[in-house]
Amino acid sequence: MNITANTRPLGLLGYPVTHSKSPQILNEVCRILGIPATYMAYSVCPDHLKEAVNGMRVLNFIGFNVTIPHKVAIIPYLDELDETAEEIGAVNTVLNKDGKLIGYNTDGVGYLRSLQEETAFSLKNKIVTILGAGGAARAVSITLAKAGAAKVFIANRTQSKAEELANVLGTFTSASAVALLQAHEKIAESHLLVNTTSIGMSPHTEVMPVPADYLHPKLLVSDLIYRPEETKLLLSAKQIGARTHGGLGMLLHQAAVAVEHWFNETAPILQMRAILENED
């Protein structure tokens, strides 16, 4: 990349960020689209988040991504939220529009695009169980509810958090909460099971968010984890004949939607996918 005085910055705020593949993906996107920008990952501890956001504003960043643990904490430091980010209550993408920082959440729409592209799953009259009640669960469950899911169960270790999210979902569809390890009956009723927790992520790849005997062959089992690409949950689902859907597509599509916000251009999904697939 030829960096000049006209090159503008993009970035990622998180803590930590050393695992992130966003710089590889988004610097290549800028090269392909011919945009004079460079993308860097910034490890910012929670105590310094306000200063980091103000610094990005002052330094005229085009925009930036936000990841754990800042997706909710960043909201007071932004000027505006779009409707989806406000509904979800979390931000993962920020656009600097003439000095005004506007927050978006691309996780939900990124997940839905991936699900439909890879599985052609129709949500009409379908029952969904979501494992987890954090920021990713909020984004995915609200998006699925608005897209037509007939009923959504939220299963979480802390049932009070599941109940809080179920109450939010009640605006869009029928929703209820259950403790994670008491979710067997709800999963038995479901057509789609989505793991939004980090259980099963590398290096702890031998664990599952629910026991294997909770699964059944009529399920589509979806896991947001993309390292490893096939978690133990997905492997167990395959063994009983259930369909599976991994997390790589969501990672790609949420980044693609961020590109659309920043540049008003269609992201080169095929090239972005190739970068990820070539990464160790």
Whole-number mean pLDDT of the chain? 95
Residue 178 in any domain: the answer is: yes
Answer yes or no: is 85 a known binding residue.
no
Pair (83, 127) in one structural domain: no
Tell me which residue range forms the domain holding 153. 108-246
Phi, psi (degrees; rounded to nearest 5) at 256: -65, -40
24 annotated as ligand-binding = no
Give CA torsion, residues 200, 273, 219, 88, to 10 deg: 80
**Percentage, residues of the chain above pLDDT 90:** 87
Whether 254 has a binding-site annotation, put simply, is yes
Other C-beta atoms closer than 10 Å to the C-beta of 279 total: 10
Do both 114 and 161 map to the same domain?
A: yes
> Could you give the strand order of the β-sheet that contains 174-179, starting from the edge strand earlier in sequence?
174-179, 151-156, 127-131, 192-195, 220-223, 243-245
Distance CA 166, CA 131 (A): 12
pLDDT for the residue 134: 87
Neighbour-count burial for 178-197, b at 16+ CB within 10 Å, e otherwise: bebeebeebbeebbbbbbbb
Judge if 235 and 271 occupy the same domain.
Answer: no
Decide the pairing of beta strands 93-97 and 100-104. Answer: antiparallel
* Residues 214 and 189 placed together within one structural domain of the fold: yes
Task: Note the helical H segments in 89-169.
Answer: 107-119, 135-146, 159-169
- C-alpha 72/C-alpha 92 separation (Å) is 9
pLDDT at res. 280: 53
Instruction: State the CATH number of the domain containing residue 224.
Output: 3.40.50.720
> Residue 126 and residue 193: Cα distance in Å, rounded?
11
Indicate whether 1 belongs to any domain.
Answer: no
What are 127-183's pLDDT values in tens digits?
999 999 988 899 999 999 999 999 999 999 999 999 999 999 999 999 999 999 889
Same domain, 139 and 230: yes
Residue 2 inside a domain? The answer is no
190 part of a folded domain: yes
pLDDT single digits (tens) 100-141? 999 999 999 999 999 999 999 999 999 999 999 988 899 999
* Number of structural domains the chain divides into: 2
> Per-residue pLDDT for 211 more than 80?
yes
137 and 264 assigned to the same domain: no
Q: Is 71 a catalytic residue?
A: yes
In a domain, 3, yes or no: no
179 is in an annotated binding site: no
What secondary structure letter does DSSP report for 124? B
pLDDT at 279: 65
Q: Are residues 78 and 26 in the same domain?
A: yes
Query: Are residues 88 and 162 located together in one domain of the fold?
Result: no
Percent of residues in the chain assigned helix, strand, coil, to nearest 5: 40, 20, 40
The answer on 268 and 159 residing in a single domain is no
Q: Which of 71, 126, 186, 232 is catalytic?
A: 71
Residues 154 and 235 in one domain: yes
Residue 176 forms beta bridges with which residues?
153
Annotation-wise, does 14 bind a ligand?
A: no
Query: Was 83 annotated as part of a binding site?
Result: yes
d(CA 205, CA 230): 9
52 assigned binding-site residue: no
Q: 229-243: per-residue pLDDT in tens?
A: 999 999 999 999 999
Q: Do 30 and 66 reside in the same domain of the chain?
A: yes
Do 112 and 137 sit in the same domain of this protein?
yes
Q: What CATH number should be reported for the domain holding residue 33?
A: 3.40.50.10860
18 has pLDDT over 90: no
